């Protein structure tokens, strides 16, 4: 990272990823999958608690409280903030060599690093929500592209349905042209607002 890279980036900007704010979780429904996830998450959480507990210059319950607080903050950050790098711009040789003319590849590699660092915390948070949904403490967010998800995103009531919807036949373009006594080229000009008709296909001839 250097001022020269930053300066070159201003004249030739490259794509950069971002940090997504996550507020949804689609819970796992399979009980056995949740069980094995709980075992793995418990081991991760134990290791996550042990690191600050072991290295903090504190003793007794002070160390326990601070270590637990650090672990909870980490899990919360991991769930709500998801770094997404643009993998098309990681530098030279697939990211193994830094691009000396751009700083954006450094940002993308940093986003990938933080994504990997927050990965275990995101797994722990997801497992906790899976268990909570399985026990009935909370409800899972609907799977995207389902009717329930559509109703939630559009703000419709839960009893909203399209079962009784009717279809209205719109007049086809040929009927519109016949009713207005204009050529297809003129109709296309009027429809699309083109200033010149030489780009349109006139099949009336």
Residue 162 lies in a domain: no
* Distance between CA atoms of residues 91 and 87, nearest Å: 9
Nearest alpha carbon to residue 129 among 93, 183, 80: 80
- Tell me the C-alpha to C-alpha distance, in Å, between residue 154 and each of 74, 123, 126, 148, 168: 33, 29, 25, 10, 23
The number of folded domains in the chain is 2
pLDDT in tens, 47-91: 999 988 888 887 888 889 999 999 999 999 999 999 998 888 787
Write down the pTM of the prediction.
Answer: 0.65
The range of the structural domain enclosing residue 72 comes to 3-154
User: Predicted confidence band at 21 (pLDDT cuts at 50, 70, 90)?
Assistant: very high
pLDDT of residue 45 exceeding 90, the answer is: yes
Q: Is residue 184 part of a domain?
A: yes
Co-location of 98 and 184 in the same domain: no
| Shared-domain flag, residues 192 and 150 | no
Instruction: Clarify whether residues 103 and 66 are in a common domain.
Output: yes
Q: Do 149 and 174 fall into the same domain? A: no
In a domain, 128, yes or no: yes
């Amino acid at each position: 990272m250097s001022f020269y890279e930053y300066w070159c980036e201003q004249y030739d900007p490259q794509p950069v990823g971002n940090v997504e704010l996550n507020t949804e979780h689609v819970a796992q429904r399979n009980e056995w999958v949740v069980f094995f996830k709980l075992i793995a998450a418990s081991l991760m959480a134990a290791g996550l608690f042990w690191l600050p507990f072991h290295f903090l210059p504190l003793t007794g319950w002070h160390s326990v409280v601070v270590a637990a607080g650090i672990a909870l903050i980490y899990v919360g950050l991991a769930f709500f903030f998801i770094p997404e790098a643009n993998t098309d711009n990681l530098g030279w040789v697939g990211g193994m060599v830094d691009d000396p003319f751009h700083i954006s590849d450094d940002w993308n590699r940093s986003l990938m690093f933080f994504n990997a660092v927050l990965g275990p915390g995101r797994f722990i948070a997801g497992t906790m929500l899976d268990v909570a949904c399985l026990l009935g403490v909370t409800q899972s967010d609907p799977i995207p592209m389902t009717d329930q998800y559509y109703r939630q995103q559009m703000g419709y009531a839960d009893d909203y349905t399209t079962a009784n919807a009717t279809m209205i036949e719109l007049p086809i373009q040929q009927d519109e042209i016949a009713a207005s006594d204009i050529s297809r080229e003129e109709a296309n000009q009027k429809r699309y607002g083109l200033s010149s008709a030489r780009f349109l296909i006139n099949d009336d001839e």
